[in-house]
Amino acid sequence: MDYCLQVAWIAGTKAIAEQSNFMFSPLGLRAGLALLATGADGQTLRQLLAFLGSEHIHQLNAASARILAEMRVWPQLSFAAGIFVDRSLRLRPEFQSTAAAAHGAFTRSVDFQNQADAAVAEVNRFISQATNGRLNNIISPGTFVRSTKCVLANAMHFKATWGQKFESYNTQHRTFHRQDGTRVTVPFLSDPGTHYAARFDGLGFKVLQLFYKMVGHDGQVHFVAPCFCMLVFLPIKRDGLRDVLRMAVTEPDFVMRCVPRSEQDVSPCMVPKFKFSSELDAGGALAQLGLGAPFDPLAADLSRMAVNTTPEGLYVSAMRQKCAVEVDEEGTTAVEATYSCSSPAYGGPEPPRPPPMSFVAEHPFMFAIVEYEKAQVLFLGHVLFKSHVTWIAGSDAITEQSNFIFSPMCLRAGLALLTTGADGETLRQMLAFLGSEHIHQLNATSAGLLADMQAWPQLSFAASIFLDRSLRLRPDFESTAAAAHGAFTRSVDFRNQADAVAAEVNGFISQATNGRLTNVISPGTLKSDTMCVLANAMHFKAKWARMFESWNTKQAMFHRLDDTRVRVPFLSDPGMHYAAKFEFKVLQLFYKMVGHNGQFDFGAPCFCRLVFLPIKRDGLRDVLRMVVTEPDVRHAIVTPCKVPKFKFSSQVDAGGALAQLGLGAPFGPDTADLSGWP
């Protein structure tokens, strides 16, 4: 569990007592602490890891890289981190490289000893630039002294417009009731109508969800852009803010659990306009929460940060955070900010149900297993009952009348690991194929995906590098393979025991897939001149959220592409499902949301299977081509609803398919450049 949010309890209750506005960014604080942990050791590292909810530094760096990768693709958000180090101090190369790759922090050399105020000005310029001029002169002259050795700084700027704009002519001045019983007249944004809202009478508050416009980096509305919203928590009692704050910071995933799940008729619907800034002593709050070692000159151990430190070592003399926010009719501008305000919500009538839609998968169809929240495709396949890496592999399987399944996630993981050791034209081809501008971006994205997979209880993933004893990997490649790709190196003897190595690789795959895939590599596949094998394996196992009852399973005819038929068992469950109809039909079947303890958890990842059923019996090839560019799912009543039971395995020549798609350099003996490996 990450305890950063609990800082808001100490600072927030102090602000409530002082009758002052308050804002805090747990994301900004976490970024700073995670960067600090990269240079920590001993008790200081243990305290930081425990506070940030990580078991070891590699896990923390992978999680940080994932968050960084997400922030970089969010057009509404800009984030920057910097390390300002005195010229007399020399940072360890491994700290500096990890700070850049996993935390996005660049290093600047400054002169604290002779020009401390000039260093203050430089850090202030960095923060001002990163927040688009919203935060200026955060650090006062005289804050840095001659003994200052290093400053870690980060800044975040969020700007978004409302999805449904508040019209200025609806803005009204009304009375706002303060906690001390006094009142003040302020302008209120007003938009009565349908909103996502919920009332939690037992907990004593209401929640209003206000969505921001989903836009891409070009500023245009984009349906697949990140979906941001503001949640406004309104205590039912005027003095209930402290109780709501306590629940928000102490209950795991409390904020996300309170997200309204349905639209309500909200009238009146009014939220005050506001603009303010606040500052907190993060160091003092962290020490009260038990994270005291980094701030204690006698206990701090930051020995993994620099090579040449004083005998006493380094410690954190201060940690502060300043935030600013502005909310008006257009939207929100926030700097290092997370916010909660006020608005009433009332329930409305249930909308009429759409007309029934039939969904009977009695001819060839396609399916996908995805992580719903992040839209990660784990598996994509189709079912034919024989008598999408790519369009290439899938269409070949259709021609051969065979079942087909493929994991784009596993292929991407293998290619990303291979890219880490590539250079020249091979590197350029692989980066272009994987959609990354440079290797650091690719490694950060891979670390993010790895962190996601490690957090998903339904999924197990493993990667390994089997290396011949005569070959020695570059240390930087080996460390990046472990940190960003979860791949650990095993020394084997291809030259003298190739078949034994094949058995070892098969054992690794079998163990990673819980025995589902065995003897994948046949004896004789690996030769005496083989130098290295990259292997990964993924195992997904989940139960339906809404189980198919066995007594509803019925034998029915399945129509093959060649016009022959076969009788197979069909799972059946008529009723409410997520479904849509285009030139094909799509059915969405959810898996149970469970945690690592196997118990239902509302905050657990949400997996589902998408079943694509062509309306024409020979339409599978067209669906396979279309679905990669225009996936869509909507809600409808599905009756009848029947899907056949199936179980099969398939194999694809990924190298051949990739070469046909233009990624040929890694597979050409004369063109491959993997000089970043040995």
Kindly state the average pLDDT of the residues 100-121: 87
Q: Which residue is listed with tokens 């960067």?
A: 35
**Residue 382: pLDDT over 60:** no
Choose among 582, 587, 585, 559: nearest CA to 572.
587
Length reported for the chain: 678
> pLDDT value at position 646?
59
Choose among 30, 23, 26: nearest CA to 278.
23
Tokens for 675, please give them. 């000089």
Beta-carbon contacts of residue 401 (< 8 Å; ≥ 6 apart): 384, 386, 387, 560, 561, 562
Using alpha carbons, list the distances in angstroms from residue 164 to 209, 263, 338.
12, 14, 20
- 3-156+280-320 and 168-276+326-336+355-383 in the same fold: no
Kindly state the average pLDDT of the residues 516-545: 83
In angstroms, the CA 597 to CA 599 distance is 6
- 10 Å Cβ neighbour count for 145? 10
What pairing do the DSSP bridges indicate for beta strands 376-383 and 404-406?
antiparallel
45 — pLDDT class (breaks 50, 70, 90) = very high
Q: Are 366 and 612 in contact (CB under 8 A)?
A: yes
Q: Which amino acid is at 324?
A: A
366 — pLDDT class (breaks 50, 70, 90) = very low
Share of the chain above pLDDT 70, in %: 79
298 — pLDDT class (breaks 50, 70, 90) = confident
> pLDDT value at position 626?
67
> pLDDT value at position 219?
64
**Residue 583: pLDDT over 70:** no
Q: Which helix (H) or strand (E) holds 416?
A: helix 408-420
**Residue 412: pLDDT over 80:** yes
> pLDDT value at position 416?
92
Kindly state the average pLDDT of the residues 46-71: 89
Q: Which amino acid is at 183?
A: R
Question: Full-prediction pTM beyond 0.85?
Answer: no
Q: Which CATH number fits domain 554-644: 3.30.300.30, 3.30.499.10, 2.30.39.10, 3.20.20.140?
A: 2.30.39.10
13 — pLDDT class (breaks 50, 70, 90) = confident
Choose among 579, 576, 639: nearest CA to 350.
576
> Comparing 605 with 149, which gets the higher pLDDT?
149
Starting at the edge strand found earlier in the chain, the sheet holding 193-200 runs: 229-235, 205-211, 193-200, 263-266
**Residue 403: pLDDT over 80:** no
Choose among 233, 227, 239, 228: nearest CA to 255.
233
**Residue 34: pLDDT over 90:** yes
Using alpha carbons, list the distances in angstroms from residue 566 to 88, 234, 258, 552, 560.
78, 59, 48, 19, 8
In angstroms, the CA 9 to CA 226 distance is 29
**Residue 326: pLDDT over 70:** yes
> pLDDT value at position 384?
40
> pLDDT value at position 218?
65
Q: Which helix (H) or strand (E) holds 650?
A: none
Helix residue ranges, H only, 472-589? 475-485, 494-512
Lowest-confidence region among 167-171, 193-197, 385-389, 562-566: 385-389
344 — pLDDT class (breaks 50, 70, 90) = very low
- For the four alpha carbons of 469, 475, 479 and 480, in that order, the dihedral sign comes to negative
Choose among 521, 170, 131: nearest CA to 335.
131
Mean pLDDT of the chain: 76
Q: Terminus-to-terminus CA distance in the chain, angstroms?
A: 39
> Comparing 526 with 574, which gets the higher pLDDT?
526
**Per-domain residue ranges for the chain?**
3-156+280-320, 168-276+326-336+355-383, 390-531+658-667, 554-644
In angstroms, the CA 58 to CA 474 distance is 18
Q: 306-320: string of b/e by CB count within 10 Å (b at 16+)?
A: beeeeeebbbbbebe
At 607, phi and psi to the nearest 5? Answer: -100, 155
Lowest-confidence region among 111-115, 223-227, 599-603, 615-619: 223-227
Which fold would CATH assign to domain 168-276+326-336+355-383?
Alpha-1-antitrypsin; domain 1 (2.30.39)
Kindly state the average pLDDT of the residues 192-197: 81
User: What is the secondary structure of 341-370 as a DSSP string?
Assistant: --------PPPPPPPPEEEE--S-EEEEEE
CATH code, 390-531+658-667: 3.30.497.10
> pLDDT value at position 342?
19
**Residue 401: pLDDT over 90:** no
Choose among 533, 530, 531: nearest CA to 471.
531
DSSP character at residue 236: S
In angstroms, the CA 580 to CA 303 distance is 58
What pairing do the DSSP bridges indicate for beta strands 376-383 and 365-371?
antiparallel
CATH code, 3-156+280-320: 3.30.497.10
Q: Which residue is listed with tokens 């795991």?
A: 252
Helix residue ranges, H only, 521-653? 620-627
In angstroms, the CA 397 to CA 384 distance is 9
